[in-house]
């Protein structure tokens, strides 16, 4: 999207975010455009997942007020000085792609958040549906001087960071599905995509992307599995700036600790959150399917799969409950 269009849509949204009616004429006046042009911008905003409706004689309004992400509000909610810069973007293809493209320019710890993603990416090449203002779309980059071989268990550690941040909102019953999905009452609340850049034998830069459902539209196309959001879990609207600060702090803290000590110190915390512990599961890696009983994880973050009385560590893939 070109910069002018983005600036216009941002301005319109800032105005509509109060949840009140604004006439097409007033909006046109605000951004210096005709009412017909406003109608086209509103259409484009609806396509991003915003619930904007129009009533003749009154104008446009958002179905409910929306607190937009705000860098200053996020920073004010941090309990420690920021480790690195926090960047708030409006509409972008993917926060992970954005950071991956800028690894040479940003310092470790740099965070970016967006209100909407037009090409949000999930694990295994899947799409991550990213409606405007409905979730947190956060990416963080971190440098691990000990390289690839030191990253075993990182994705599990990130799941713990998310669970810790959620605990601060009052949700203490999330569960983690190996390697790093966050579940609430059997439905997916958040997902993590970790991407690594670097040379074998040297330090590597990692981009950690988190999608956390906050208050999703009532109807959302394209999500193929049962999902939950924080609004369902808490029964009220969450302040996304406060939540972002808690998430960012937890990610910084876990990355720092992980870079020094790896996953082993987090093992017990992970076991307490393990969704599939002692359950019959199917492990899918590529075309291969293995069935067994999930016996937790080891200090390298590998899934421990029991088959015929033997426990084997498994390093890659996805698990599902057997029979599903
Ligand atoms: C999953 O498949 O469960 C992982 C989803 C990760 C989505 C997040 S949203 C922020 C970041 N940017 C992306 O394009 N993906 C991750």
Alpha-carbon span 130 to 198, nearest angstrom: 28
Cα separation, 150 vs 200, whole angstroms: 12
Q: Whose CA is nearest to atom 2 of ligand 1?
A: 122
Contact 137 CB / ligand 1 (< 6 Å): yes
Ligand 1: nearest atom to the Cα of 130: 9
pTM to 2 decimals? 0.92
Between CA 234 and CA 130 the distance in angstroms is 21
**183-232 confidence digits (pLDDT tens):** 999 999 999 999 999 877 789 999 999 999 999 987 788 888 899 999 99
Q: Which of 89, 96, 125, 132 to mutate to test the pocket of ligand 1 (most atoms within 8 A of CB)?
A: 96
**Contact criterion met (CB below 8 Å) for 90 and 116:** yes
Distance of CA 154 to the CA centre of its chain: 16
Q: Confidence class of residue 286 from pLDDT cuts 50, 70 and 90?
A: confident
CB-CB neighbours of 324 under 10 Å: 6
| Among 71, 100, 123, 167, the one annotated catalytic | 123
C-alpha of residue 243 to centroid of ligand 1, in Å? 17
- Pocket flag, ligand 1, residue 94 (CB < 6 Å): yes
Q: Is 46 a catalytic residue?
A: no
Distances (CA, A) of 117 to 72, 137, 211, 271: 22, 8, 10, 33
CA-closest candidate to residue 74, choices 62, 88, 56: 88
CA–CA distance, 255 with 65 (Å, rounded to integer): 34
């Amino acid at each position: 999207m070109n910069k002018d269009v983005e600036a216009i849509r941002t301005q319109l949204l800032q105005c509509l975010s109060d949840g009140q009616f604004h006439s097409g004429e007033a909006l046109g006046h605000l951004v210096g455009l005709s009412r017909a042009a406003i109608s086209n911008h509103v259409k484009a905003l609806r396509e991003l997942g915003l619930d904007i409706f129009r009533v003749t004689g009154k104008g446009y309004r958002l179905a409910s007020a929306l607190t937009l992400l705000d860098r200053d509000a996020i920073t004010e909610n941090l309990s420690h000085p920021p480790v690195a810069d926090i960047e708030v973007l409006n509409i972008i293809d993917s926060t992970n792609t954005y950071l991956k493209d800028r690894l040479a320019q940003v310092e470790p710890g740099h965070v970016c958040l967006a209100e909407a993603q037009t090409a949000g990416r999930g694990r295994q090449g899947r799409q991550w549906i990213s409606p405007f203002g409905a979730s947190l779309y956060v990416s963080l980059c971190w440098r691990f001087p000990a390289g690839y071989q030191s990253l075993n268990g990182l994705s599990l550690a990130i799941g713990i960071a998310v669970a810790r941040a959620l605990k601060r909102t009052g949700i203490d019953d999330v569960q983690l599905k190996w390697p790093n999905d966050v579940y609430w009452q059997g439905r997916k609340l958040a997902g993590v995509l970790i991407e690594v850049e670097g040379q074998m034998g040297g330090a590597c830069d990692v981009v950690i992307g988190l999608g956390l459902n906050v208050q999703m539209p009532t109807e959302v196309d394209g999500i193929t599995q049962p999902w939950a959001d924080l609004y369902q879990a808490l029964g009220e609207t969450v302040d996304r700036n406060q939540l972002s600060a808690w998430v960012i702090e937890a990610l910084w803290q876990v990355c720092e600790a992980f870079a020094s000590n790896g996953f082993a110190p987090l093992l017990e915390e992970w076991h307490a959150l393990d969704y599939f512990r002692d359950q019959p599961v199917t492990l899918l890696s590529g075309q291969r399917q293995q069935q067994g009983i999930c016996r937790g994880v080891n200090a390298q973050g590998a899934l421990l799969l029991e088959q015929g009385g033997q426990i084997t560590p498994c390093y890659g893939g996805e698990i599902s409950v057997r029979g599903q």
